[in-house]
Amino acid sequence: MAKTILVTGSSGLVGRSCTQLFLREGYEVYGIDNDARALYFGKEASTRETIATSHSRLRELKELDIDITNRVAVRDLIHRIKPHAIIHTAAQPSHDKAAEIPFLDFETNAVGTLNLIESLRQANLDGTFVHLSTNKVYGDSPNLLPLAELETRFDYADEHFEIGINESQSVDASMHSLFGVSKLSADILVQEYGRYFGMNTCVLRGGCLTGSNHQGVELHGFLSWLVKCNMTSFEYSIFGHKGKQVRDNLHADDVATFALNFVQNPKIAAVYNLGGGYSNSVSIIEAITLVEQASGIRMKVSYKPQARKGDHIVYYSDLTKIQSDYPSWKVNWSLKNIIEDLVLHQHGR
């Protein structure tokens, strides 16, 4: 009998990659998604098209319109299907938007996570919970590290950090944004369910996650939004740091393959930084050049000197711990391939 997996945010970027992979691997997959992205960012960010596509292409997927803040609906579903694992990708994902909707942000990111993991504990204590967290749980503490300004990017000046930020980075005494606070609350909660109840839990502190299924908007979805602006001749705005701020980028399919690895070999209270690492790191001005090369279209750019509050100047993930625990997992999508895929997808829209 096939094991049951529940994926939250199943029509979103990472959720869709997870549903596709677990279905291919022979699992019975349930998805929940209420298209909250359209509520947060407007209809251009809606995942309704993806939801509709799921019913034509992914016939085996059982996708339900459920809000994770609805405790009763979440509890009833989980008690009914008793999933072997929950892959929790649903969230209010924007650093900036959270300040406009603080109650909704916290209810979704923190309380919604509690609804899910407590329902799993009640229904199947032996179940596995994989939580998509964020590097924003570290706040802007990485900005306190010594940095060097290079021609096209900032980078870490201390060789100790030349392979990136590891899981020992402090979460205290820094500005997180309200988004970072709600996600940190969920992050610690999931860890505690592992330690206190002995559940198999995993926290994935993601960097910039992307892919052709990303409905990028200005407030969320760096590379997807950049490509969309380029190919529609829309002016892209850079916010502070001379456009030299750096992020590592990881394709959603690579997130999904790790989730599968963890479900098949779970641990208690695991915490990992998850990103593309140094090899997939890029500054905004470097990314603009790469997108222009891939599309053949010149970018329209404006510069606003005021940086976003709590924004990282440099962040890329040290993958030492995750690759040590799961040596078969690797980053399959290079930065070049990610950008070419985004351009191809945008061209076909």
CA dihedral 7, 103, 44, 93 (to 10 degrees): -50
Looking at the chain, how many residues does it have? Answer: 349
Q: Could you tell me the end-to-end alpha-carbon distance of the chain, in angstroms, rounded to an integer?
A: 39
pLDDT at residue 177, rounded to an integer: 92
Question: pLDDT per position in the chain (349 positions), as tens?
Answer: 789 999 999 999 999 999 999 999 999 999 999 887 666 666 665 566 655 555 545 668 999 999 999 999 999 999 999 999 999 999 998 888 899 999 999 999 999 999 999 999 999 999 999 999 999 999 999 999 999 999 999 999 988 888 999 999 999 999 999 999 999 999 999 999 999 999 999 999 999 999 988 776 776 678 999 999 999 999 999 999 999 999 999 999 999 999 999 999 999 999 999 999 999 999 999 999 999 999 999 999 999 999 988 789 999 999 999 999 999 999 999 999 999 999 998 866 6
Domain count, the chain: 1
Residue 161 confidence (pLDDT): 86
Determine the pLDDT at residue 348: 66
Query: CA-to-CA distance for 275 and 279, rounded, in angstroms?
Result: 10
Chain Cα centroid distance, residue 254: 11
Largest CA distance in the chain: 58
The bridge status of strand 28-32 relative to strand 62-64 is parallel
Give me the residue label for tokens 């209420």.
34
Residue 243: both structure tokens together: 């456009």
Q: Which of 105, 100, 132, 129 is nearest to 117 (CA)?
A: 129
For 111, which DSSP code?
A: I
Q: What is the pLDDT of residue 75?
A: 98
pLDDT for residue 56: 47
CA distance 343 to 336: 11
Check residue 82 and give left, alpha or beta (phi > 0: left; psi -120 to 50: alpha): left
Q: What is the CATH number of the domain that holds 295?
A: 3.40.50.720
> CB of 224 within 8 A of CB of 216?
yes
In terms of residue numbers, what domain contains 326? 4-347
Angle (nearest 5°) at CA 295 between 289 and 298: 55
Establish how many alpha carbons lie within 13 A of residue 273's alpha carbon, considering only the half-sphere containing its beta carbon: 26
Q: In what order do the strands lie in the sheet with 200-206?
A: 62-64, 28-32, 4-8, 85-88, 128-134, 200-206, 270-274
**88 close to 18: Cβ distance less than 8 angstroms:** no
Which neighbouring-strand residues pair with 210?
A: 251
Kindly report the pTM of this predicted structure: 0.93
